[in-house]
Homo-oligomer: A and B are copies of this chain.
C-alpha cells in the first residue's frame, strides 16, 4: 500500500502507481548518486557499453561498466526492446551532451532487465522514414514518434481545457447522447446498424451529429449542454475526412447569435494550449457578413492570412474585355492587386495550371495576370494607364477577371489563394480567426432549394414573414441566424439559432420537401414547451490538426487521431472492415453482396 506521505510527495509525478522511480526525461545533475529505476525502449547503442533508453517523455543515456555479461546482453538485444535499468545517476562532467535534456548525466547500470524483447527485424522504427502505408499498418510503432506523441498529448490538453472552461467557468452539463439512432430525412451519408431480434429487419443509423438530441435536451430543460461527441459520416473517400470524427458540440437555451459566438470564442481562447501562446488569436474575432466575404474574398471562408481583397474597378477601364455580342446584365470585371507578389512563383506553367484548374469548375471565368515588368498584357489599351490607376509597383501583380459576376468573384477568390501560396505571401505560423455571419437561410443547389446550414436554423426575426412567400426568389432573400467560425481559410465549425416553434419548423421542412413523418418526434417536442435555443459544433480533429501544425489548416486529420483509417475506409493495422461470420449474418437477418472488387488501400 502506498503510504499517504509518499502519495503527497509524488502527487504530480507520472511515475506514481508504476514501478519506475523516474521517467527518462526527468533526471538531471540534482539526482547525482541517487539509485533510480527507469524503463523504456532501447533506441540507441554504442560500443556495447552505452545505450539510450527512450520513453514517452524523453531519453536518457545509460552506461555499462566492466560487466561482460551485461555487455553481451546489450549486444544481443534488438532495438525497440523494452528494458528496465536499475542504476546510479552519475554526472558526465566534460562529456555532457548539450543537445539532450538529460545530457548532464547518465545512469551507471547495476541491473539490466529485458522486459520484452523486440523482433530483430522491425518493419520500421519510430521517427525514421517509412511509407504512409507501413506507418499505418504498424501504427503502434509510429505512435512512439515525437510527432504523434506530441499531437495526441496536445489534443488531450486542449480537450481538457475546453471541459474546464465549459464545466467550471460556464456551468455547462456534459451529456452523452446515443449513437444508435433512427435515420434522419434522406438518410444520406449515414452508416447503418442492423438490429437484432426482436427488431430484426430494422436498422439503427449512426448519426452525423447529435443535432436532434441537443435540441431535445433544450426542450428537456438541460439549459447548457455540451459533449465531445463521436459522429459518423459515410462519404466514402472524400477528401481528408474520417468515417468517424469528433466534434465539440454545444447548445444553450435563452441565448442569441452573439451570445453563442462569444461563448465559443471565449472557450477556444480559454482552452488554447500554453505552448502555443505565440499563435493565439485575439478576441473579439471579427464578424464578416456573408455578402461581404463573397464580395471581398470570393468565398464564404476567406483566408485572412492573405493580405489582399478583391477590388471594384471603378470606371470602365476594363470594358474593352467585354465582347461586343455579350449582352449579359451580369457582366463584370474585378481586380485583385497582389502587392509584392511578383516572383518566381508566377511562371507560365504555373499560370497555365491555374487556368486549367479554374476552367474545370463551372464558375470559372477568364482572367489575366499582369506584372508591370512584363509588357503588353492587353493590346487594345495602354497598359501604363492600368499601372497608374492601381499604383502598381515593380513587384506587384494585378489579377483581372471578367465575365459573369458570380463566377468573377469565385475565380478571384481561388486566385487570391493560388497567388499568395506561390508567392509565399501567406503569413506562416499565424492563426487568424473570424466569424462569417448573415448567411442566406436557403440556397439553390442543382436547381433545388436547400438549407444553407440545416433545416433547423431560424431566420432573422425581421425576415420570418418571408418564409411564407411562394416566390423562391423571396425565400432566397431570408437571412438565417447562422454563423461559421473560419480560421486560416477553413471552416472550423458552424452553428445557428434554431427554430423553436413547431409550426414554423413544420413549414420549413415542407418548403424543403423533407418527409414530415421522419421528424415527428422533433415537431412534437417543439410543441411541448421548447425554449428558444442555439448552439455550435466545432470540428475537433481539424482544429487540433491546425494547432499541432502551428496554423497549417491543411495538416491531415490522421496526424492527430490515434488509429485513423485510410481514405478508402480501411484500418490497415487490423484489416478492418472484415467479412462477417454466418452466425452474425443470421443474427441480424442480413445478406451482404460479395465484395465486388478487392480494393487497394
Contacts and interface: CB of A to CB of B under 8 A. Distances in A.
A201 to B, nearest CB: 4
Interface in A74-112: 80-82
A571 B181 contact: yes
A461 interface: no
Contact of A41 (B18, B221, B561, B574): B221
A361 interface: no
Contacts of A219: 140-141, 143
Given A122-B528, A143-B217, 8 more contacts: A17-B252, A17-B255, A119-B527, A160-B174, A191-B196, A196-B236, A203-B577, A203-B578
B213 A590 contact: no
A193 B234 CA distance: 11
A574 B528 CA distance: 15
B254 A201 contact: no
Contact of A116 (B138, B176, B501, B587): B501
B194 A562 contact: no
B201 A595 contact: yes
Nearest to A236: B196
A194 B190 CA distance: 11
Contacts of A177: 562-563
Given A1-B284, A200-B593, A259-B19, A230 B169 contact: no
Contacts of A223: 14, 55-57
B192 A116 contact: no
Interface string A456-495: 0000000000000000000000000000000000000000
Contacts of A593: 200-201, 589-590
Interface in A147-202: 148-149, 152-153, 155-157, 159-160, 163-164, 167-171, 173-183, 187-188, 190-202
Interface residues of A, number: 153
A256 B235 CA distance: 44
A206 interface: yes
A468 to B, nearest CB: 19
A592 B595 contact: no
Contacts of A126: 221
How many copies of this chain? Answer: 2
A347 interface: no
Nearest to A284: B1
B529 A183 contact: no
A29 interface: no
A197 B531 contact: no
Contacts of A119: 527-528
A599 B198 contact: yes
Given A140-B216, A529-B41, A574-B182, A569 B234 contact: no
Contacts of A160: 163, 167-168, 174
Given A11-B169, A115-B531, A173-B152, A580 B217 contact: no
A342 to B, nearest CB: 40
Interface string A263-293: 1001000000000000000001000000000
Contact of A194 (B16, B259, B590): B590
Interface string A11-46: 111101111100000000000000000010100000
A2 interface: yes
Looking at A212, A244, A578, the one whose CB has the most chain B CB atoms below 10 A away is: A578
Given A163-B160, A171-B13, A259-B17, A577 B204 contact: yes
Nearest 7 interchain pairs by C-beta: A143-B220, A589-B593, A201-B595, A182-B576, A14-B171, A80-B529, A202-B577
